[in-house]
Amino acid sequence: MSRPVVITVAITGSVARKKHSAAVPVTPNEQIMATKEAFDAGASVVHIHVRNRDESSSSDPSLFQQVQEGVRHLCPGMIIQFSTGGRGREASERGSALFLMPDMATLTTGSVNFPKEIYANPPDFVADLAQSMNQFRIKPEIEIFDLSMLYSAKELVEKEILQAPLHCQFVLGVKNALPAKRSVLEFLVSEIREILPGSTWTAVGIGKHQLEVLEWSLELGGHVRTGLEDSLRIDKDRLAKSNAELVQIAAEACTRFDAYPASPEEARKILGLS
Ligand code: ZN
């Protein structure tokens, strides 16, 4: 029987600028329109970073608020997920927009090397961010950039700082972190099934690994993420025209694995959101 798959679109991210691809939406208005197109193409979750006027990463709650309001208006039922990710943001500000009560927010449960920096998430910081999410009734998406982060998430469940079932995202193909290898994903999936039964998961491959990881994820029973944050290209010769074009590719891939893009209602049920 065909299964519904939650497609998350990561529209902007914190790295790529207009000079890398004109398709990257950076103003709230561009972000709202890009999300609407991606929603129409089958995405049920939007993962949001916001940018300052000079395109640098921002933590400004008023920018998050503008995007959230626009998306709620144009994309009824779509799940809104704020990034609390670190690149280019002060640690003390990474949770500063959570009071806006998006449906979800990302939570990285440990530290790791990124290509050129340390992505620092010390234990107390992670626990504080998780508690803020509890306070504002936000479901975390646990970002797994390295294996230990899965076990740290389990420990937070045992301490009742996080509530099972979790939703985890395995990020593969970031230089200095987990490689985009199928055997690595298979191991992560077997571990999550064992130590966090009933949890849902997504896998994403960064850059040139996008499509192969998406297909492994569909094959192994996971959900998928795509978008210009993760990959600016369709293939080595062509930039993606839009986030929607990447979502279309993900939606087509679903049909090859006896799956279909979940509606917002189905996605909410799968992720345990109201
Ligand atoms: Zn992100």
Kindly state the helix (H) or strand (E) to which residue 200 belongs, with its residue range.
strand 200-205
Q: Is 80 exceeded by the pLDDT of residue 1?
A: no
Average pLDDT over residues 159-187: 97
Distance (angstroms) between ligand 1 centre and the Cα of 10 equals 6
Residue type, 127: A
Residue 14 CA to ligand 1 center (angstroms) comes to 7
Q: Would you say residue 107 has pLDDT above 90?
A: yes
Ligand 1 is an ion; its neighbours by CB within 5 Å are: 83, 85
Identify the pLDDT of residue 83.
97
How far apart are the C-alpha atoms of 7 and 266, rounded to whole Å? 11
The three-class DSSP label of residue 97 is: coil
- What pLDDT sits at residue 88? 81
- Tokens 């279309």 locate to 248
Tell me the backbone φ, ψ of residue 237, rounded to 5 degrees.
Answer: -100, -15
Verdict on whether the full-model pTM lies above 0.95: yes
Per-residue CA distances from 210 to 30, 70, 172, 194, 271 (Å) = 23, 28, 9, 26, 23
Quick one: pLDDT at residue 134?
Answer: 97
For the chain, what is the largest distance between any 2 Cα atoms, rounded to a whole number of angstroms?
48
Ligand 1 mean position to 44 CA, how many Å? 16
Cα(208)–Cα(252) distance, rounded to whole angstroms?
A: 18
Asked if pLDDT for residue 86 goes beyond 80, the answer is: no
Q: How far is the CA of 1 from the centre of ligand 1 (A)?
A: 32
Structure tokens at 50: 């916001």
> Helical H runs in 79-172?
123-135, 148-158
Cβ neighbours of residue 73 under 8 Å, at least 6 residues apart? none
Joined tokens for residue 241 = 């025209």
Two structure tokens written together for 182: 């199928």
189 CA → ligand 1 middle, Å:
21
Residues 6+ apart with CB under 8 A from 213: 172, 173, 180, 185, 203, 204, 205
Using the mean position of ligand 1's atoms as its centre, give its distance from the Cα of residue 229 in Å. 7
- Looking at residue 119, its pLDDT comes to 95
Looking at per-residue confidence, does 243 or 235 come out higher? 243
Q: How confident is the model at residue 87 (pLDDT cuts 50, 70, 90)?
A: confident
Residue-wise pLDDT tens digits, 15-63:
999 999 999 999 999 999 999 999 999 999 999 999 999 999 999 999 9
